[in-house]
Amino acid sequence: MAGNSIGKEFTVTTFGESHGKVVGVVVDGCPAGLPLTEGDFQEELDRRVPAEPKIVSARVEKDTAKILSGVFSGFTTGAPIALMVENKETNSSDYEAIKNLPRPGHSDYPARVKYGGLNDYRGGGRFSGRVTVALIMAGTIAKKLLSKFDVDVLAYTSAIGQINTTKKFTAAEIRKNRYAAATRCPDLACAEKMEQAIINARKVGDSLGGIIECLALNMPVGVGDPLFDSLDADLAKALFAVPAVKGVEFGAGFRAAEMMGSENNDAFLLKNGKVVTSTENAGGILGGLTSGMPIMIRVAIKPTPSIAKEQKTVNLSSMKNAALSVKGRHDPCVVPKAVPAIEAAVAITLADHMIRSGFIPKIFKEH
């Protein structure tokens, strides 16, 4: 199954399935000398699952990261870093009953055709949101690298279904409040409404999607490469690799299509001796290169396709029309869990490009 690696200098290869023994990742290209412990990963992994049981799946894995290689005496060695977590809370019986009934909105049918029915279908297998655990572990390393250069990546929920916040948050507000809410929205009053909307959808056997916004602050100017290695192109590729992502936009995004050039162009000006822009419609990227302004990304997450409501499908064994109500443990909304995964995907891409552009050295000698 090709397509499991991303990055050129900071290369991330993930492995594992939803109901397999483990989910893991190998990170190659991390400079030697970066302080790194299993506790660093635990902090990030613990943020993945909200503590509020009413809005998450009943499957709660107590993910414990294990470093298998690439770290010695608390520092990276420059060798590939292998990491894994075990899958312990699996229940595959629900999937045996529907293995011939492809779930609407899932990859079940095209995956069965592509791999001749040999793929692991339990819980979506390789296509499950469970694999974002590996992404988060790789993102932990990327974020530690970026922090050494004051680059900060912050993702949060801005909308769940029809409930959205219109507030503009400071970086400090995002850091303080996003994980204080089960929905990962820094607007705590709006977060409560989002939570109730998810609960209401679950009660009627349905689900919700939403929007995650992500900022990257303090990026230097000129990171990225033309033409097919432009930073926004690589960011979009990494973000679309997160299951359930259906749309990505930078800055004004699709609204730019409605603007005049004079409205959309971000005018340059000097502020405290630094070149900045008066507006941020470009989202911090021009011609595939960072402009020095904050990178601003919005990501659309589709509603969880596994729902209790009856849906139409086809029995692939009898080749007859059939009905399906998905049983088992599923999130009524995956947006809260996706927040750290989106943050990780952005951080991984930025770290890769920072190394490629020479902003991150091959070795740290501070210790």
pLDDT digits (tens, 9 = 90+) for 12-57: 999 999 888 999 999 999 999 999 999 999 989 999 888 787 898 7
- Does pLDDT of 1 surpass 60? no
pLDDT digits (tens, 9 = 90+) for 317-336: 999 999 999 887 789 999 99
> How many angstroms separate the Cα of 227 from the Cα of each of 94, 232, 266, 286, 353?
46, 11, 22, 12, 14
Domains of the chain and CATH, by start = 5-356 (3.60.150.10)
The answer to whether the pTM exceeds 0.85 is yes
CA dist 214 and 83 (Å) reads: 25
- Does pLDDT of 81 surpass 70? yes
Which amino acid is present at 347? A
Q: Are 204 and 309 in contact (CB under 8 A)?
A: yes
Of 314 and 54, the one with more pLDDT: 314
Q: Are 176 and 167 in contact (CB under 8 A)?
A: no
Closest to 21 measured CA to CA, from 114, 69, 92, 108: 92
Q: Are 29 and 7 in contact (CB under 8 A)?
A: yes
Least confidently predicted of 97-101, 163-167, 194-198, 338-342: 97-101
Task: Provide the Cα torsion 97, 327, 334, 136; round to 10°.
Answer: -40
Report the half-sphere exposure of 226 (CA within 13 A, side-chain side).
2
